Amino acid sequence: MKLATLRNGRPDGHLVVVSRDLTRFASAGRVASNLQDALDEWDRCAPILAAVSDQLNNGEISGMPFDPDDALAPLPRAYQWIDGSGYMVHLDRVRNLKGSKDEELQDEHPLMYQGGSDSFLAPRAPIVIAEDDQALDFEAEVVVVIGHVPMRPTHEDASGAIRLIGICNDVSLRRLVVNDLQNGFGFFHAKPATSFAPIFVTPDELGAAWSDNRLHLRVRIHVNESLYGQPNAGKDVRFDFADLIVAAAQTRELGVGTIIGSGTIANAHDDILPLKHDGIGFGCIAEARTAEKARIGKARTPFLKPGDKIRINAVDADNRSVFGAMEQVVKLL
Amino acid sequence: MKLATLRNGRPDGHLVVVSRDLTRFASAGRVASNLQDALDEWDRCAPILAAVSDQLNNGEISGMPFDPDDALAPLPRAYQWIDGSGYMVHLDRVRNLKGSKDEELQDEHPLMYQGGSDSFLAPRAPIVIAEDDQALDFEAEVVVVIGHVPMRPTHEDASGAIRLIGICNDVSLRRLVVNDLQNGFGFFHAKPATSFAPIFVTPDELGAAWSDNRLHLRVRIHVNESLYGQPNAGKDVRFDFADLIVAAAQTRELGVGTIIGSGTIANAHDDILPLKHDGIGFGCIAEARTAEKARIGKARTPFLKPGDKIRINAVDADNRSVFGAMEQVVKLL
């Protein structure tokens, strides 16, 4: 099934079930008032929500037209947002930017940071920055939402705890990264609110696109009208989501509704921007810039600036959107 | 007024108003089902809760006996937990441990990290560790809970957003700090679940003990039967809570119910452990150990081990507990 949260004037919004083709929705208000409530009582709620989904998809319920402009992030706020480093290609490309040191360690144990989860950006909300010289970048990522995970889980415990899958834009202010990491206690100011595509999807609904704790879909990114990337999130994965969950729970249990991020999706290739229509490209601008430095001696793709529009959309083999798209404009405060 | 959350089998517990002397409580269930709900509608809820508090304190409501064993953390889970560095004395004492570099920067801008907020420890819950060689330490801190704060607030906006005050134990695994900070993306594995004293208190209730965005109370710490510290949280403050909120909101807004921590409370003095009954002592073991290294050439106070009991309690001038005590035993998973 596919779930979304519609704006209703309350911080947690209104939970709805969305049709497979993203055109219609049915309220889930009688099952759970919001998505966190549904996750808190997943064993009770999931079968009822699945039945509503079936009725919506087979036409027994006509539903209402689904408009992504009305959607909040599926979890508009969450109790935990942990972002991992699933793709070594991303780390390899941006290592110098981050001033991090130990390549071998990063290949053995995924890096992760605690992200802010108090207010996520809606899929069509502007990305608001306070200054235009902070090197604003996007990071296209896959996320999973989990049930409760005990401390020191097995890989199977971790895999079995995955409830929902989605995509996000881990908005990053590159100019602030080094100060956060080298002079501070870790990522903080460099990681403002994260954006989410409107739909979270259950693993069963994804069929073959979800296997081995990985999402086997292309995630396509446009900045303004230019294609910046369409990496396959299932390729070049060093740490799958079960690995990331196991790593996150080494010194603590993880609460229901914790969101785990894959890190920037990155496939190995020799592309630079502008991208050919069948190119693979990049899940963030920082990688595009380091590739340019290596190939043509200087970084030429600019970071995002006020007025730029960033679109991130995961598509299936028939180019249909699976989670709905994030379409956001950069604005100055 | 004083608020607590009692265990009721649900993740967010049951909100209650507690009498000033911490002996009795009255349910707040008719006003808000839990503390986050009350914070989300603070303007509506606070006056009603204050009226219940008045009735409880003047005897109009008899209430029920308050037992801290039944209490969860006042916010058993939160959408955000940001810990700051309010006391330079703490940073000065432990700087070498953390491998951080820039003393001057830290005196100009508070350091802060994003803490895990998905499941806080109840005031009497055990502190469970997976291995006994991770150098388990406590950090006694003051916290505030805030309403919504916009990006780039004024000092006055920040001060006015403070809704509740409490104390916590920012449990730390010292052996994992350097790896988190030097090889990773910042504090993560070194900061497992944080513990909270059972009561959050409104600024007005604290009277003179709350002024200049600081808590002017001693926070007393015992490990087993030994006094480890009783620093005054209102002294030697480099960054008050309004400063910390302003700093936290430089690149983002802060959601309702965000918890901001003061960092380890630390007063300037020349004590070492064992402490005299009128000594000031330490808000964490790491500081006690660095003081020992400086004075007697080696660190002799051990980190916490399974079976140890840690008690943290903020007291007024008459030695009465203001927030209730945290009393926790260390256990191995």
> Running DSSP on this structure, what letter comes out for residue B183?
I
The SS3 of residue A256 is coil
How is residue A139 written in tokens? 């990071």
| Residues of B in Cβ contact (< 8 Å) with A258 | 118
Residue B251 and residue A101: Cβ atoms within 8 Å?
no
Strands annotated E in B122-204: 127-129, 136-137, 140-146, 162-169, 172-173, 195-196, 200-201
* Separation between Cα atoms, residue B26 and residue B138, nearest integer Å: 32
Q: Which fold has domain A75-332?
A: Fumarylacetoacetate hydrolase; domain 2 (3.90.850)
Which amino acid appears at position A301 of this protein? T
| Residues of A in Cβ contact (< 8 Å) with B13 | none
Residue A241's region, left for phi above 0, alpha for psi from -120 to 50, else beta, is alpha
Nearest CA in chain B to A189: B251
User: Measured between CB atoms, which of B10, B79, B184 is closest to A117?
Assistant: B79
Please list, residue by residue across B138-167, b when 16 or more beta carbons sit within 10 angstroms of its beta carbon and e when fewer do.
bbbbbbbbbbbbebebeeebbbebbbbbbb
Residue A80 and residue B118: Cβ atoms within 8 Å?
yes
Could you tell me if B50 and B204 are in contact, meaning their C-beta atoms sit under 8 angstroms apart? no
Could you tell me if A264 and A246 are in contact, meaning their C-beta atoms sit under 8 angstroms apart? no
Closest CA to B35 of B71, B60, B61: B71
Residue A189 and residue B101: Cβ atoms within 8 Å?
no
B-interface mutation test, from A185, A187, A194, most B Cβ less than 10 A away = A185
Q: What Rg value do the Cα atoms of chain B yield, rounded?
A: 19
Spans of chain B below 50 pLDDT: none
- pLDDT for the residue A105: 66
- pLDDT for the residue A32: 97
Residue A187 and residue B184: Cβ atoms within 8 Å?
no
Q: Which residues pair with B81 in a beta bridge?
A: B115, B259
| Residues of B in Cβ contact (< 8 Å) with A13 | none
Which amino acid appears at position A289 of this protein? R
Closest CA to B12 of B81, B80, B73, B82: B73
* Other CB atoms within 10 Å distance of the CB of residue B298: 8
* Separation between Cα atoms, residue A41 and residue B135, nearest integer Å: 37
- Can you count the helices (H) and strands (E) in chain A? 9, 20
How is residue A140 written in tokens? 């296209």
- pLDDT for the residue A230: 98
User: Measured between CB atoms, which of B113, B116, B192 is closest to A188?
Assistant: B113
Residue A134 and residue B257: Cβ atoms within 8 Å?
no
Q: Is the peptide bond before B74 cis (omega within 30 degrees of 0)?
A: no
Q: How far is CA B229 from the centre of its chain?
A: 15
How would DSSP label each residue in B248-267?
HTSSS-B-TT-EEE--S---
- pLDDT for the residue A13: 98
Q: How far is CA B237 from the centre of its chain?
A: 15
Average confidence score pLDDT of chain A:
95
- Tell me: the pLDDT tens digits for A168-180? 999 999 999 989 9
User: Measured between CB atoms, which of B100, B119, B134 is closest to A183?
Assistant: B100
Closest CA to A78 of A32, A111, A39: A39
* Separation between Cα atoms, residue A323 and residue B5, nearest integer Å: 37
Closest CA to A148 of A288, A259, A255, A270: A255
Sorted by sequence, the CB contacts under 8 Å of residue A272 that are 6+ apart come out as A288, A291, A292, A295, A296
Dihedrals phi, psi of B292, to nearest 5 degrees: -65, -45
- pLDDT for the residue B191: 97
- pLDDT for the residue A91: 81
Residue B112 and residue A185: Cβ atoms within 8 Å?
yes
| Residues of B in Cβ contact (< 8 Å) with A40 | 10-11
User: Measured between CB atoms, which of B111, B116, B152 is closest to A185?
Assistant: B111
- pLDDT for the residue A104: 62
Residue A188 and residue B252: Cβ atoms within 8 Å?
no
The SS3 of residue B117 is coil
Could you tell me if A328 and A308 are in contact, meaning their C-beta atoms sit under 8 angstroms apart? no
Alpha helix (H) residue ranges in chain B = 35-40, 42-57, 88-98, 103-108, 155-160, 177-178, 203-206, 241-248, 285-296
Residue B114 and residue A116: Cβ atoms within 8 Å?
yes
* Separation between Cα atoms, residue B299 and residue A75, nearest integer Å: 47
- From first to last of the 333 residues of chain A, give the pLDDT tens digit: 999 999 999 999 999 999 999 999 999 999 999 999 999 999 999 999 999 999 999 999 999 999 999 999 999 999 999 999 999 888 888 776 555 555 666 778 899 999 999 999 999 999 999 999 999 999 999 999 999 999 999 999 999 999 999 999 999 999 999 899 888 899 999 999 999 999 999 999 999 999 999 999 999 999 999 999 999 999 999 999 999 999 999 999 999 999 999 999 999 999 999 999 999 999 999 999 999 999 999 999 999 999 999 999 999 999 999 999 999 999 999
How is residue A70 written in tokens? 């009305």
Closest CA to A145 of A208, A219, A197: A197
- pLDDT for the residue B94: 79
Closest CA to A87 of A136, A138, A141: A141
> Running DSSP on this structure, what letter comes out for residue A331?
E
* Other CB atoms within 10 Å distance of the CB of residue A14: 20
User: Measured between CB atoms, which of A40, A129, A185 is closest to B186?
Assistant: A185
Residue B192 and residue A102: Cβ atoms within 8 Å?
no
The residue ranges of every structural domain in chain A are 1-72, 75-332
Residue A114 and residue B255: Cβ atoms within 8 Å?
no
* Other CB atoms within 10 Å distance of the CB of residue B8: 15
- Tell me: the pLDDT tens digits for A133-154? 999 999 999 999 999 999 999 9
Q: What Rg value do the Cα atoms of chain A yield, rounded?
A: 19
Pairing of strands A81-84, A259-261: parallel
Sorted by sequence, the CB contacts under 8 Å of residue B225 that are 6+ apart come out as none
Q: How big is the A-B interface in CB pairs under 8 Å? A: 148
Residue B11 and residue A101: Cβ atoms within 8 Å?
no
User: Measured between CB atoms, which of B105, B187, B253 is closest to A119?
Assistant: B253
How is residue A178 written in tokens? 């080094």
Closest CA to A171 of A138, A132, A202: A138
Nearest CA in chain B to A78: B79
* Separation between Cα atoms, residue A27 and residue A32, nearest integer Å: 10
- pLDDT for the residue B113: 96
